[in-house]
Amino acid sequence: MSVSSASLDAYWMPFTANRDYKKEPRVITGAEGHWYLTDDGRRIYDMFSGLWCSGLGHCHPKIVEAVQKQVAKLDYSMGFQAAHDRVFELAERVTGLAPEGLDHIFFTNSGSESVDTALKIALAYHRARGEGHRTRLIGRERGYHGVNFGGMSVGGMSPNRKAFGASLLGCVDHMRHTWDLEHQAYSRGMPEWGGHFADDLERLAGLHDGGNIAAVIVEPVAGSTGVLVPPVGYLERLREICDRHGILLIFDEVITAFGRVGTAFGAERFGVKPDLITMAKGLTNGVVPMGGVLVDEKIHEAFMNGPPAAIELFHGYTYSGHPVAAAAGVAAMDVYAEEGTFDQSRGLESHFEDLLHSFKGHPMVKDVRNFGLMGAIELVSRDGAPGARGLQVHKKGFWEAGVVIRNGMDVLQFSPFLNSDPDEMTQSFEKVRGLLDSLD
């Protein structure tokens, strides 16, 4: 093993059963393209594109070169009252891909920071225009919006919230989630049934008075909870209700942006324009941590009042728009354009969908869901041990089948590379089938 017992003990791993992991560590030491390299010399196929984030493949040479050059030229530059050239270039490139009117971007370092930034912008926007009473935020059950206090508060994944309940934001409520096994099982893409779930926002507007609600935040496709795809008409209905009550609509596109659903942003694919869009992951292909918030022109302009020398928004991070991250982002934008990545992704969807839905009828499978290059196979839970089968598949995949599969409890999640080889994709799912066949 390449990692000493002392270093194993020193590192408190995120979202990990640390004691279980450290009995039999799964250690990755390198990567190339679609494959990881392990400390025992094996190549294992990555079925999750890192953590939704490395859609172009690992160690893409153009991004590697850009980062190497940038760190040798400018390693860091203060971002308060000063800025460097690459961050302006990246801002122009990203806003150029955005839905019309989302012409400004505020850079962060992660998806969690992007969400908290978007929530703060929403609250401050209403205050700037004389509606400071709009303080309520609406999230959704089973939504994931990062692990900072704002994101946890609007998020709806109970394990993330239960230890911190007393300290979460108080002026928050949640819509119901959109999944219904009885009516939506094994839907290919968007379920035909369930658009009416958006009316739960109207219920909350009646409960709290829509004039007191600042913003609603949803993932266009809820990823981390197990790929919950919006029903037909659902997002359009949310937009209508928000417009009627003067509520801002935030799309959390940390996962769906940059090709994951076959377009630059999920807003484009679904044909629904939000007021703010959060992002991270694919912004730099996961090479350097970076996030951002796209902001509609009307929101930005509401801040551009008062003395010209006054700071408009008292918010930011030491590493906002970091030059090395910006260089990685510009290079990623170049690759997306030069390689036609979004079209590549769209072209893989039907093959991916067919592979996933071939598991329908397997005795260990409860449901299959997919949209774009996001997919989930939900397993039947073992009696008295929810999550055990999912973790078993993850471990056996790493040690026996040579594939990396992410499990969220008993939901196996798949996020293929945007430039996947269809044959490699097929072979990897054959290994998944073998793993499910071996379950007890």
Element (H, E) at 2: none
Cα dihedral sign for 10, 14, 15, 21? negative
What end-to-end distance do the CA atoms of the chain give, in Å? 30
- Phi, psi (rounded to 5 degrees) for 382: -75, 140
Q: Is the pLDDT of residue 280 over 70?
A: yes
Between CA 83 and CA 352 the distance in angstroms is 42
- pLDDT at position 2 is 73
- pLDDT at position 4 is 87
Q: What is the mean pLDDT of residues 366-385?
A: 97
- pLDDT at position 165 is 83
Tokens linked to 380: 């039947």
Between CA 153 and CA 411 the distance in angstroms is 24
Q: Is the pLDDT of residue 74 over 80?
A: yes
Residue 3 Ramachandran class (φ > 0 left, ψ -120 to 50 alpha, else beta): beta
Tokens linked to 88: 């302006």
Using a pLDDT cut of 70, give the percent of the chain over it: 100
In tens, the pLDDT along 110-150 reads 999 999 999 999 999 999 999 999 999 999 999 999 999 99
Range with the lowest mean pLDDT among 70-84, 159-173, 232-246?
159-173
Q: What is the mean pLDDT of residues 22-34?
A: 95
Q: Look up residue 385 and give its DSSP letter.
A: B
Q: Select from 321, 258, 328, 251 the least CA-distant residue to 288.
A: 328
Q: Select from 433, 414, 410, 425 the least CA-distant residue to 359.
A: 433
Q: 366-402: b or e for each residue (b if 16 or more CB lie within 10 Å)?
A: ebbbbbbbbbbbbbeebeeeebbbbebbbbbbbeebb
Between CA 379 and CA 412 the distance in angstroms is 8
- Pairing, β 104-108 against β 136-140: unpaired
Contact 109, 79 (CB under 8 A): no
Using a pLDDT cut of 90, give the percent of the chain over it: 96
Whether the domain at 5-56+341-437 and the domain at 64-338 fall into the same CATH topology:
no
Number of Cβ atoms within 10 Å of the Cβ of 74: 15
Between CA 84 and CA 325 the distance in angstroms is 12
Crossing angle between the packed helical segments 61-73 and 323-338, to the nearest 10 degrees? 150
In tens, the pLDDT along 400-425 reads 999 999 999 999 999 999 999 999 99
CA 387 to chain centre: 22
SS3 content of the chain, % helix, strand, coil (to 5): 40, 15, 40
Tokens linked to 260: 């994951």
Domain 5-56+341-437 sits in CATH at: 3.90.1150.10
Bridge partners of residue 277, in order along the sequence: 251, 294
Contact 294, 105 (CB under 8 A): yes
Between CA 428 and CA 414 the distance in angstroms is 11
Largest CA distance in the chain: 68
Q: Which residues have C-beta within 8 Å of that of residue 164, sequence separation ≥ 6?
A: 149, 152
Between CA 69 and CA 279 the distance in angstroms is 25
In tens, the pLDDT along 387-402 reads 999 999 999 999 999 9
Q: Select from 4, 288, 24, 250 the least CA-distant residue to 151.
A: 250
- Phi, psi (rounded to 5 degrees) for 421: -85, 120
Q: What is the mean pLDDT of residues 377-390?
A: 97
Between CA 272 and CA 266 the distance in angstroms is 9
Number of Cβ atoms within 10 Å of the Cβ of 193: 13
- Pairing, β 365-371 against β 374-379: antiparallel
In tens, the pLDDT along 148-178 reads 999 999 999 988 898 898 889 999 999 999 9
Domain boundaries, the chain: 5-56+341-437, 64-338
Q: What is the mean pLDDT of residues 82-111?
A: 98
Bridge partners of residue 252, in order along the sequence: 278
Tokens linked to 372: 């774009």
Bridge partners of residue 45, in order along the sequence: 35, 403
pLDDT confidence tier of residue 1, bands split at 50, 70 and 90: low
Q: What is the mean pLDDT of residues 214-228?
A: 97
- Pairing, β 276-279 against β 104-108: unpaired
Domain 64-338, what fold? Aspartate Aminotransferase; domain 2 (3.40.640)
